[in-house]
A and B are shown apart, each in its own frame.
Chain A
Amino acid sequence: MTARDDIARQREVALVDLVDRLLAGGVVLGGDVTLSIADVDLVYVGIRALITSVATAEEKGLAIAPAQGQPFA
């Protein structure tokens, strides 16, 4: 595994952990929450696509701003 793969993978972990917690964890107040569980799965798919495209762009030498707010950066 290259260093770049490694970084992309770590980003993916932070993002997936974020989505896990914010969209599927936490206290639910009443019924008015934006996303259903099916929607959450779609967000995971979107994140994987995003990470793949970031990794690909970096491979091609394109500058990508680092993902915001890594939880323990």
Chain B
Amino acid sequence: MAFPYGEKVLEHFRNPRNVGRIEDADGKATEGSAACGDMVAVYIKVNQDTQMLDDIKFESYGCASNIATGSIITEMAKGKTLAAAKQITWQEASDELGGLPALKAHCSVLAVEGLRAAIRNYEEKHGLVTDREPTTVEIITKRLRHVMNPLRGLDVVRTDLIKKIEFNDGVVRIVADLPPDHQFASVIRADIAEKIEPLWDVKEVTIDFEG
């Protein structure tokens, strides 16, 4: 048989490790959205004394590379300190799996983002984030790199969908290069709002479609 993935990817896809929910999680996060076709939820339990990941679980709505990456990254992170777990990259996860198709990078990177976001969630809840950086256009751009352009399967920044980003007095204005009545406009709008609104000093997000 000629499967589109390597053996280790298929093995993790078939028997994913650390699957499920942790009801009393110390940190949790969801990356991606149903609209993009891939979504990962990551739940962590942290040992308060050692700052180590005692337990980690994930759920996936996604393709094989998404599921396999969720599986491998939870295996890699378990037992590591938060600081070390945060450093795990997509490349390391991909290498551990024996390689992932480049076309599927955007599906699998979500698991890595999910882990980092869950750790950030824990840190925010436990007052471990001391330096609250003021929002800048650069920070907004960085966050927009996690919003998928469903037309291309890559993020909205890389695919030049974002024409303009403005930030004044807590108000973010984003202009997307897409007609307002485009089939994906509402999905992209919701995704952008979800990523930008949580920034601590952002009061309002407006997204205009001018394509």
Do chains A and B interact in one complex? Answer: no
The interface of chain B, by Cβ under 8 A from chain A, is: none
The interface of chain A, by Cβ under 8 A from chain B, is: none
